[in-house]
Amino acid sequence: MTENTPTKPPYKMIAMLLAGAFIALLNNTLLNVALPSIMADFDISPATVQWLTTGYMLVNGILIPITAFLIQKFSVRGLFLTAMTLFTLGTALAGFSHSFPVLMAGRVIQASGSAIMMPLLMNVMLTSFPVEKRGSAMGIFGLVMVFAPAIGPTLSGWIVEHYEWRVLFYMMLPFAIVTLLLAVFRLYDNKQSVHTHLDVMSVILSSIGFGGILYGFSAAGDKGWASLEVYGTIVIGVVGLVLFITRQFQLEKPMLDFRIYKYPMFALSSAISLTVTMGMFGGMLLMPLYIQTVRGISPFHAGLLMLPGALIMGAMSPITGRLFDKFGGRILAITGLLITIVTSYFFTTLALDTSYTELIMLYSFRMFGMSMLMMPVMTNGLNQLPARMNPHGTAMNNTLNQVAGAVGSALLVTIMSTQTRIHAEELAGTIDPALLGQQAMVEGINDAFMVTVYVSIIALVLAFFMKRAKPAEDSNEELPGRAEDLTEAPNHS
């Protein structure tokens, strides 16, 4: 064990944090299927109801960069209790809402809590385990991270078909309350508050930068790239981000330290993760479009179709974690990317009559390849950071995931829409007019999947430069969010 790693990781406490993260991640994917029902219930437009997901994403994108500061200043207990309290209150407010503004407020409060959980949990995992065991530890983290979104669409599809949409929140509320109460009585630490200053200008610039970019790209699919609202917010976001980064280099103690990119394996892992996430999120968006819009399959059955692949990805996370500890991330990343490239290519041959079984097998095999990428690549990069930089590394990774997901989805939807129009013009007069729209959209989806092939090839080239990373020399500064701060509550009986 290293000097800064406790001899016995706080497994019970980590399990508690994992439970909170699982609930938050499950919540992220539950609402998408219910949007049409909410639209009808409140008599609102698609553009308005979309704010339930866009607003959630924006709050996460704005708050996650601040978590590096929060983890350094406050105790794990304090942050987790705050996050779970916010999430629980938001869930209750959303569940009992009878107007859209109240529901929207509940979602924003939920997002404020969930934004803290993921970086906090990742930081505790990094400080709880030595480098030689981090793969296995992060594999368990990956299992939770993947399993929750895996069951979300199927579960919500079944609930919406049989009950009203508010049941989605009623179902979450007891689990959130129990997790919160367990944390109140079983989670405590001895860490003293650290006197550090939050630079308000950094918060403002970060919010403008990441918020503008996330909103611009997420709105592009609906409003189009010719919209002033789209490219205007993206330009403002880019300017804000440049000013934010410049300011971080000027500060003695930056809110989000971009100096972590001087560590080559972290920089490389970020580049690979960025490209892989763009392809993965885009693929997760293109598949439902094909299944539901083109093939007319119900949301519940669409969720069932994608469920095996997601479960395989979740089940593989602990296995790839152990393989990472033994062999490193390079061979896993290369193997996973080769599988991803091959399966993505097969997705460029979708047709109107592609069988249900073939879709399940292709998607499952693609997710099998993806399971060898995300956690191993990310863990290898984080392993090179000195412990005091862990909060900045986890915050940066989570922020980039948000940005990559939004950018990748927007670009692929744009490519799909553009190519669909082109194919519709080419096919006009050559096929049955009743099938023209469907066939053109299938061709557009195929073209978008081809872009994921090219993106994955770029990631594959980068993966050949991966090396097994070890922590760089660290200073004697106090470690933020230390695992030894997490212990069981004393028994006063």
Q: What would the pLDDT profile of 330-366 be if each residue is shown by its tens digit?
A: 999 999 999 999 999 999 999 888 888 898 999 899 8
Number of C-alpha atoms within 13 angstroms, CB side, residue 287?
31
Q: What would the pLDDT profile of 271-285 be if each residue is shown by its tens digit?
A: 998 888 887 776 777
Please answer whether residues 471 and 131 qualify as being in contact, where contact means their C-beta atoms are separated by less than 8 angstroms: yes
Find the mean pLDDT for residues 385-410.
84
Q: What would the pLDDT profile of 195-241 be if each residue is shown by its tens digit?
A: 678 888 988 999 899 888 888 887 776 677 778 888 899 999 999 99
Q: How confident is the model at residue 89, as a pLDDT? A: 95
CATH of range 259-472; options 3.40.640.10, 3.30.70.20, 1.20.1250.20, 3.40.470.10: 1.20.1250.20
Q: How confident is the model at residue 2, as a pLDDT? A: 46
> Which carries the bigger pLDDT value, residue 128 or residue 3?
128
The whole-angstrom separation of Cα 112 and Cα 87 is 7
Q: Do domains 1-198 and 259-472 have the same CATH topology?
A: yes
Q: Which residues are CB-contacts of 174 (< 8 A; sequence separation ≥ 6)? A: none
The whole-angstrom separation of Cα 91 and Cα 445 is 35
Chain-centroid distance of CA 418 in Å reads 27
pLDDT band per the 50, 70, 90 thresholds, residue 384: confident
Q: How confident is the model at residue 493, as a pLDDT? A: 39
pLDDT band per the 50, 70, 90 thresholds, residue 124: confident
**Which of 71-75, 127-131, 220-224 holds the top average pLDDT?**
71-75
- The yes-or-no verdict on residue 185 having pLDDT over 80 is yes
Q: What would the pLDDT profile of 231-261 be if each residue is shown by its tens digit?
A: 899 999 999 999 999 999 998 888 888 999 9
Mean model confidence pLDDT for the chain: 83
Find the mean pLDDT for residues 313-332.
87
Q: How confident is the model at residue 238, as a pLDDT? A: 93
Report H helices in 187-227: 200-223
Q: What would the pLDDT profile of 45-63 be if each residue is shown by its tens digit?
A: 766 777 887 788 788 888 8
The whole-angstrom separation of Cα 186 and Cα 80 is 12
> Which carries the bigger pLDDT value, residue 473 or residue 151?
151
CATH 1.20.1250.20 at 1-198, yes or no: yes
The whole-angstrom separation of Cα 321 and Cα 318 is 5
Q: Is 490 exposed, middle or buried (CB count within 10 Å of its CB: 0-12, 13-18, 19+)?
A: exposed
Q: How confident is the model at residue 431, as a pLDDT? A: 79
Q: How confident is the model at residue 478, as a pLDDT? A: 46
Q: Where are the domains of the chain?
A: 1-198, 208-254, 259-472
Q: How confident is the model at residue 191, as a pLDDT? A: 58
Collapsing DSSP to helix, strand or coil, 186 comes out as: helix
Q: What would the pLDDT profile of 414-460 be if each residue is shown by its tens digit?
A: 888 888 888 888 888 787 777 788 888 899 999 999 999 999 999 99
